[in-house]
C-alpha cells in the first residue's frame, strides 16, 4: 500500500483511512478545462487526486492505493471480487479505521450494493465519485473526496453499512441510484431519501438503514459467478433474448418490468418456461421508484417468479448473483433473500 499521509497527521493520531482508487470521471482528464463531457475517465492516479484536496491532512492519515483505473461502465465481476477482497483485507487490518473507494458514477450503485453485502466489517466504507473530470472548471471530485474521507473518519459512520458520499449527501448503498446523465447532483435515494449529509467537516445522520448488511449478510464475492442477465419488458418485446440466453445456459434473469413489474404476455410466457427449467426469474420494475409486490398483479408463485421488492433491476441482479453463488437454488430461499436484504 502506498502511504501518502504526512508525519504531522500521524503524530496527531488522526483516523487512518485507506483510499482505494478504481478510476471513473473523478480521475478523468479532458483536453481543456471547459470540457465536461468529452474526456477520458480513469486516467489520473490516486496520488494526484489526493493532492487536489486541500486540508485532508487535518482530517485523516491517508493510505492510498490504486486498485484499478477503469471507466466504470467496464466494471467486471472479476474486478468486483478483487475489490471486495481488497476492502475486506484492508478493513481487517488494525492499522486502518475506514475505507474510501473512488469509483465511476455509471455503475457506482451496483458496486456499492455488492460491497454492502460482502464487506465483513463494521468500520466505515464509503464510495465517492464525480460528474466532472478532474481537469474541469468547478470539478466536483475534490469536495466529494474530502467529504468521503470526513465521513470515513467519523465514528457516526461505523456500523452503517456501505455508504455513498456525493454532493454533500450521505446515501445508503442499497437505496442510492444515479438519476442524471450530466447534473452534478446526480445521485438520489428514490422514495426513501438520503441518510444524512456531510458538509464543512460536519457529519449528520437523520436515520439508519434497517435491513441487514456487511457483518450480518451471509454473502461473499466469489471467483465463480453464476450468469445473471437483465431483460426488459416493453411494447412489442420478443422472446428471442430470453430463449437465446436459456439456450446459452443462463442461471438467472432479472426482469425490468413495466409499472409495478408487469411483463408483456409473450415475454412472461418465455420466462415462465425458463423458470420451469430451473432458471431463477426475479421480477423488478423499470420505473425507477417504488416497489414490486410479491403476488401482486402478477401470479409469481404460479409462474415460478420471485419479486424484487424495492430493489432496482441492477441491484436485484447483484443480490441474485450473490444468492445464487451462496447456493440459494429454490424459489423460497431466493424470495427470502429478496425479502431480507
Q: Examine residue 105 and tell whether it contacts ligand SIN (CB under 6 A).
A: yes
C-alpha radius of gyration, the chain, whole number: 20
User: With CB under 6 A as the contact rule, which of the stretches 20-28, 110-118, 119-127, 309-317 interacts with ligand SIN?
Assistant: 20-28
**CA distances for 143 relative to 106, 186, 239, angstroms:** 19, 15, 47
Q: Shortest gap between Cβ of 148 and ligand SIN (angstroms)?
A: 14
* Interacting residue with ligand SIN among 4, 5, 25, 121 (CB under 6 A): 25
Q: Is 104 in the site for ligand SIN (CB under 6 A)?
A: yes
Q: Which is nearer to ligand SIN, 24 or 304 (CB)?
A: 24
Q: Minimal distance in Å, beta carbon 54 to ligand SIN?
A: 22
Closest listed residue to residue 97, CA positions, set 132, 140, 56, 61: 61
Tell me the C-alpha distance between 64 and 47, whole Å: 7
Q: From the centroid of its chain, how far is CA 152? A: 17
- Which residues within the stretch 116-145 sit at the binding site for ligand SIN (CB under 6 A)? 129, 131
Cell numbers for 321, please give them.
448473483
CB of 131 to ligand SIN, least distance (A): 5
Cell of 336: 427470502
Judged by CB under 6 A, the stretch of 22-30, 151-159, 259-267, 268-276 that binds ligand SIN is 22-30
Dihedral sign (CA 333, 335, 339, 341): positive
Q: Determine the interface stretch with ligand SIN among 99-107, 227-235, 268-276, 282-290 (rule: CB under 6 A).
A: 99-107
Only segment of 101-109, 154-162, 197-205, 318-326 that touches ligand SIN (CB under 6 A): 101-109
Active site includes 25? yes
Active-site position among 25, 105, 135, 150: 25
What residues pair up with 232 in beta bridges, in sequence order? 256
What's the Cα-to-Cα distance from 55 to each of 5, 14, 157, rounded to whole Å? Answer: 12, 13, 20
Shortest Å, Cβ 130 to ligand SIN: 7
Measured between alpha carbons, how far is residue 98 from residues 17, 108, 126, 150, 203 in Å? 5, 19, 8, 10, 15
- 32-61 positions binding ligand SIN, by CB under 6 A: 41
Cα–Cα distance measured from residue 160 to residue 207, given in angstroms and rounded to the nearest whole number: 10
Three-state SS at 279: coil
Measured from the CB atom, the residue of 105 and 189 that comes closer to ligand SIN is 105
Enzyme catalytic residues: 25
The residues that touch ligand SIN, with contacts defined as CB under 6 A, are: 23-25, 41, 71-73, 104-106, 129, 131
Amino acid at each position: 500500500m502506498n502511504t501518502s499521509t504526512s508525519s504531522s497527521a500521524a503524530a496527531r493520531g488522526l483516523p487512518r483511512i485507506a483510499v482505494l482508487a478504481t478510476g471513473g470521471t473523478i480521475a478523468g482528464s479532458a483536453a481543456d478545462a471547459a470540457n465536461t463531457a468529452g474526456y477520458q475517465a480513469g486516467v489520473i492516479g490516486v496520488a494526484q487526486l489526493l493532492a487536489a484536496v486541500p486540508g485532508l491532512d487535518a482530517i485523516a492519515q491517508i493510505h492510498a492505493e490504486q486498485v484499478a483505473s477503469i471507466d466504470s461502465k467496464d466494471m467486471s465481476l472479476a474486478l468486483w471480487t478483487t475489490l471486495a477482497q481488497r476492502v475486506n483485507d484492508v478493513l481487517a487490518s488494525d492499522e486502518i479505521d475506514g475505507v474510501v473507494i473512488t469509483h465511476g458514477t455509471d455503475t457506482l450503485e451496483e458496486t456499492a450494493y455488492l460491497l454492502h453485502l460482502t464487506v465483513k466489517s463494521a468500520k466505515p466504507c464509503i464510495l465517492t465519485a464525480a460528474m466532472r473530470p478532474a481537469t474541469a472548471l468547478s470539478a466536483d471530485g475534490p469536495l466529494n473526496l474530502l467529504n468521503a474521507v470526513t465521513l470515513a473518519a467519523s465514528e457516526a459512520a461505523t456500523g452503517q453499512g456501505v455508504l455513498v458520499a456525493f454532493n454533500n449527501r450521505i446515501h445508503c448503498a442499497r437505496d442510492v441510484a444515479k438519476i442524471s446523465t450530466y447534473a452534478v447532483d446526480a445521485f438520489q435515494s428514490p422514495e426513501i431519501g438520503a441518510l444524512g449529509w456531510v458538509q464543512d467537516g460536519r457529519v449528520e445522520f437523520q436515520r439508519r438503514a434497517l435491513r441487514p448488511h456487511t457483518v450480518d449478510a451471509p454473502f461473499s464475492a466469489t471467483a465463480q459467478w453464476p450468469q445473471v442477465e437483465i431483460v426488459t419488458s416493453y411494447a412489442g418485446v420478443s422472446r428471442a433474448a430470453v430463449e437465446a440466453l436459456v439456450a446459452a445456459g443462463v442461471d438467472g434473469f432479472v426482469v425490468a418490468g413495466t409499472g409495478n413489474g408487469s411483463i408483456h404476455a409473450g415475454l412472461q410466457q418465455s420466462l415462465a418456461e425458463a423458470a420451469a427449467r430451473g432458471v431463477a426469474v426475479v421480477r423488478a420494475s423499470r420505473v425507477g421508484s417504488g416497489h414490486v409486490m410479491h403476488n401482486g398483479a402478477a401470479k409469481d408463485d404460479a409462474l415460478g417468479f420471485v419479486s424484487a421488492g424495492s430493489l432496482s433491476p441492477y441491484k436485484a441482479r447483484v443480490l441474485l448473483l450473490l444468492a445464487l453463488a451462496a447456493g440459494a437454488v429454490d424459489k423460497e430461499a431466493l424470495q427470502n433473500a429478496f425479502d431480507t436484504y
